[in-house]
Amino acid sequence: MSLVVKNLSKKYGDKTVLENLNFTMEKPGVYALLGTNGAGKTTSIRMMLGMLSKNTGEVLWNGKPLDTATCNVGYLAEERGLYPKYALMDQLIYFAGLRGVSKSEAKKRIKYWAARLEVEEYLYPNASADTSDAQGGSGNARKRVKKNKPKIADQLSKGNQQKIQFMTALISNPELLILDEPLSGLDPVNTDLFKNIIREEIAAGKYLIMSSHQMATVEEFCTDITILDHSKVVLQGNLNDIKKSYGRVNLALKVEQDIAPYIKRAGVTLLTEKEHEYQLKVTGEAQANELLSMLIADHIPVITFDLREPSLHEIFVEKVGGDAHETV
């Protein structure tokens, strides 16, 4: 299986909202679409899924145009939505049915994902009462069971609604999973819950496309990235290769005294300093080693010397400049 995005462009009148997006996923993994707000990430996803018309380009899945008929797609949209007044179970069965999942199979999968995402109490409100009733519950307990109606979306918190929406994306056991800002608005516990599921999907050999502002998360999961800025691709490729191309230029140095004169003498850029912990930017390994040699020569004890590649966050900020202020 493979996903090919070729020359994807979109214009609204004279305004270009996406210009020549190209990328390929030859094997399962996670591909990240990054960019500032309005850079064209969501537009790209909508075009890939056929929701928006393309001015140019094509999207192929196994050599055929990507379509609901050719590919089992799971999609967590940036605009989260559920029917506010309908029973959650009805909605999930409906969404599963639209993806070709039978009602009985859908019920099994809903049960599984409800347990995984810890939303059983909203989908099976009588389950715990049933258990106690089966174990000899009183008449009052039986009355309580009658009162517990299945929840509707309006009664759920934003985070729990997001879990239900994630279930709708996963319920058809998709080959291609597109997640637009999957972790935004989640608390740390639920973020970990989502991350674990994403890891499992990766391990199961799924193709994932992820759009996110959380660079640490992208770095954690993604193998390949595209950074969009003002509708244009400004950086693209394998994340490790990109990082390598920048070289090891970030130096974290911890000592027991002020070393500002040494830094100045070595021509190294000081980024931050806090209680003799320095974050420095070097031009390469040679400059870092020169600074280290000076410190050793003057018998200055070095506690930490960590020379590493730039983070995705730094790369992103460098590429999109001032527009990156909204990233996390």
Task: Report, in Å, the least distance between residue 264 CB and another protein.
Answer: 54
Residue 89 or 317 with smaller CB distance to another protein:
89
Residue 4 or 87 with smaller CB distance to another protein:
87
The answer to whether the CB of 153 falls within 8 A of the CB of 161 is yes
Q: What are phi and psi of 17, to 5 degrees?
A: -105, -15
Residue 82 or 295 with smaller CB distance to another protein:
82
Task: Report, in Å, the least distance between residue 216 CB and another protein.
Answer: 26
Buried b (16+ CB within 10 A) or exposed e, 319-328: bbeebbeebe
The answer to whether the CB of 195 falls within 8 A of the CB of 4 is no
Task: Report, in Å, the least distance between residue 42 CB and another protein.
Answer: 9
Residue 169 or 288 with smaller CB distance to another protein:
169
Interface contacts to another protein, rule CB under 8 A: 46, 49-55, 68-69, 73-75, 77, 79-87, 90, 94-95, 97-99, 165, 168
Task: Report, in Å, the least distance between residue 318 CB and another protein.
Answer: 32
Sign of the CA dihedral running 61, 62, 68, 74: negative
Q: Please enumerate in sequence order all residues whose Cβ is within 8 A of that of 296, keeping only pairs 6 or more positions apart, or say none.
A: 302
Task: Report, in Å, the least distance between residue 268 CB and another protein.
Answer: 49
Residue 54 or 319 with smaller CB distance to another protein:
54
Mutual angle of helices 188-203 and 158-170, in 10-degree steps? 10
